[in-house]
Amino acid sequence: MKLHTLLKFLHPLVPYKGDNPEITAIHNDNRLVEPGSLFICIKGHTVDGHDFAQSAVEKGAAAILAERKLQLDVPVIVVNDTYRAMAVLADAFYGQPSRKLHLVGITGTNGKTTTSHLIEKIFSDAGQKTGLIGTIYTKIGNQTFETKNTTPESLRLQKTFKQMIDSGVETAVMEVSSHALVYGRVHGCDYNVAVFTNLTQDHLDYHKTMDEYRRAKSLLFSQLGNTFSHDKPKFAVLNADDPASREYIQSTAAHVVTYGIDQPADIKAANLKIAANGTVFDLITPHGVEKISMKLIGKFSVYNVLASIGACLVSGISLKQMIKSIEEVEGVPGRFELVNEGQDFAVIVDYAHTPDSLENVLKTIKQFAERNIYVVVGCGGDRDRTKRPLMAKIACQYATHPIFTSDNPRNEDPLQIIRDMEEGVKGKQYKPIVDRKEAIYYAINNAQKGDVILIAGKGHETYQQIGSEVFDFDDRVVAKEAIERR
């Protein structure tokens, strides 16, 4: 694409009239620059991309997009905000790929990964070629790719959409984090359906207040646009039981479909029966009432299923088709995943790493546990500190044997993180074991017949980050080993 053509998408007040090289790629990482690239200088938290413009030119960059004038041998286009401009250019360069997809975005504190997997499965079972972008991986058809962020930044995101289009994907489902919304990583994404799961405390290190956090999530709904398109109708699928939905209804001009258990809603669940091996409930929809019997466990799983049904129903999938998929689904890696080596106690690995998700999982366990409940739990370093005492409190409230350990301590002292947790449980019974492997072994070696052990916080993760080092660590593998050695 010619530079002039590309820049038109920015609609500058004064059109750029300089040299007009062919742009063959766009990069904001100078290490990736190849001849013909447009290099975008982004001022980051730790590094300033402007410092790498010269190096990009030396590697053959054909043009530079910057926030100030730079003396270089190639055209330098100056804009006020290169990060914002990057989303526009990424969308334009890859041929506005999200317009050609049936795109479903999911936001909320908990349940994004699970809900996106459910929705993807339903579409795929219905015979569509699907794509998925989220925490565990990016998936195009049956191929998976590793991801760094739950929601990638605009360049990678639009490139992924383009790859999806090229490989015949019809429906793409993506998790949309609040960070991505605030930074504008998803600017330009033409969603058909935006789904809201729930809003509870998390990421207050970044958003400061719940008001700010709620507003961040509302962006997904306001960004559905203000037009009524008959060809590409827009839908907001909202959780009627979460008070934030009232605000999100106001944020959007899209058609609203609600789901819930407690409050009136378009799609409802009733008569929930929660057990250790699955959940049964009545699904009440405008198409009638159906009995669902699924392997997913807990009330929170029912919410994820209702959200998925809402998103698929507005996308034209039949209820019958959806129910078949839901009843079949085994679960999502690291979400209430059972480690079963034939032992006579239950071991559950779950990604719960927020107060609310920990509480939901423990509440669910309490509903079927017959004897003691062990919970092995820690809190991540370099992240929201306010949730530490809250998570400790919840652990002590529901578990008979809470064990506080390390999650990913990152650059914090793991012992200090445990001290922060302890602030919430003065005088309560718990056991601090800094080493996560030791903590898991302790629980497994002490558990007796009929007990339940929850290993919380890391779910599908296969590493542990201590300091700046990343070690191999998989709760499921460690638990399996410990059971075998017992």
Ligand X SMILES: Nc1ncnc2c1ncn2[C@@H]1O[C@H](COP(=O)(O)OP(=O)(O)O)[C@@H](O)[C@H]1O
Positions in the binding site for ligand X (CB under 6 A): 110-114, 135, 175, 197-198, 300, 303-304, 335, 350-352, 356-357, 360-361, 459
Shortest Cβ 405–Mg ion spacing (Å): 22
381 is in an annotated binding site: no
CA distance 443 to 216: 39
CA distance 374 to 452: 6
**Residue 160 contacts which entry, Mg ion, ligand X, none (Cβ below 5-8 A, type-dependent):** none
Q: What is the contact mask toward Mg ion in residues 341 to 360, using x (rule: CB under 5 A)? A: --------------------
Shortest Cβ 109–Mg ion spacing (Å): 10
**Residue 361 contacts which entry, Mg ion, ligand X, none (Cβ below 5-8 A, type-dependent):** ligand X
Q: Applying CB under 5 A, does 112 fall inside the site for Mg ion?
A: yes
Q: Is the CB of residue 347 less than 8 Å from the CB of residue 365?
A: no
Q: Is the CB of residue 256 less than 8 Å from the CB of residue 249?
A: yes
**Residue 464 contacts which entry, Mg ion, ligand X, none (Cβ below 5-8 A, type-dependent):** none
CA distance 237 to 310: 6
Point out which span in 127-135, 219-227, 354-362, 405-413 binds Mg ion (CB under 5 A): 127-135
SS (H, E, C) 177-215: CHHHHHHCCCCCCCCCEEEECCCCCCCHHHHCCHHHHHH
**Residue 222 contacts which entry, ligand X, Mg ion, none (Cβ below 5-8 A, type-dependent):** none
Shortest Cβ 282–Mg ion spacing (Å): 28
Nearer to ligand X, 235 or 300 (CB): 300
CA distance 105 to 99: 14
51 is in an annotated binding site: no
Q: Applying CB under 5 A, does 117 fall inside the site for Mg ion?
A: no
**Residue 81: exposure state from Cβ atoms within 10 A (0-12, 13-18, ≥19):** exposed
Please compute Rg for the chain using Cα positions. 24
Residue 191 neighbours by CB under 8 Å, 6+ apart: 98, 103, 104, 105, 220, 223, 224, 234
Shortest Cβ 335–ligand X spacing (Å): 4
Q: Over the range 139-156, which residues count as b (16 or more CB within 10 Å of their CB) and which as e?
A: bbeeeeeebebbbbbbbb
Tokens 């499921």 belong to which residue?
Answer: 476
Nearer to ligand X, 218 or 357 (CB): 357
Q: Applying CB under 5 A, does 135 fall inside the site for Mg ion?
A: yes
285 is in an annotated binding site: no
Q: Applying CB under 5 A, does 114 fall inside the site for Mg ion?
A: no
**Tokens matching residue 434:** 């800094």
SS3 149: coil
457 is in an annotated binding site: yes
Nearer to ligand X, 175 or 451 (CB): 175
Residues within window 437-476 making contact with Mg ion, judged by CB under 5 A: none
- The dihedrals phi and psi of 111, each to the nearest 5 degrees, come to 95, 0
Shortest Cβ 446–ligand X spacing (Å): 23
108 is in an annotated binding site: yes
Nearer to Mg ion, 193 or 482 (CB): 193
Torsion region of 312: left, alpha or beta (phi above 0 gives left; psi -120 to 50 gives alpha) = alpha
Shortest Cβ 385–ligand X spacing (Å): 19
380 is in an annotated binding site: no
Nearer to ligand X, 97 or 134 (CB): 134
CA distance 316 to 289: 18
Q: Applying CB under 5 A, does 109 fall inside the site for Mg ion?
A: no
- Most distant CA atoms of the chain, gap in Å: 77
Nearer to ligand X, 236 or 296 (CB): 296
Point out which span in 57-65, 78-86, 105-113, 397-405 binds Mg ion (CB under 5 A): 105-113
**Tokens matching residue 319:** 């209820």
Q: Applying CB under 5 A, does 113 fall inside the site for Mg ion?
A: yes
**Residue 352 contacts which entry, Mg ion, ligand X, none (Cβ below 5-8 A, type-dependent):** ligand X
How many residues are given for the chain? 486
Nearer to Mg ion, 112 or 458 (CB): 112
354 is in an annotated binding site: no
382 is in an annotated binding site: no
Tokens 């004038």 belong to which residue?
Answer: 69
Q: Applying CB under 5 A, does 187 fall inside the site for Mg ion?
A: no
Nearer to ligand X, 171 or 308 (CB): 308
80 is in an annotated binding site: no
Strand 278-285 to 288-294 pairing: antiparallel
CA distance 103 to 297: 28
Q: Is the CB of residue 441 less than 8 Å from the CB of residue 447?
A: no
131 is in an annotated binding site: no
Point out which span in 86-94, 106-114, 268-276, 365-373 binds Mg ion (CB under 5 A): 106-114
Q: Please choose, from the candidates 47, 16, 46, the residue with its C-alpha nearest in 3D space to the C-alpha of residue 38.
A: 16
**Residue 328: exposure state from Cβ atoms within 10 A (0-12, 13-18, ≥19):** exposed
Binding residues for meso-2,6-diaminopimelate: 383, 407-410, 457, 461
Binding residues: 108-114, 149-151, 177, 185, 383, 407-410, 457, 461
Interface residues toward Mg ion, by CB under 5 A: 112-113, 135
Binding residues for ATP: 108-114
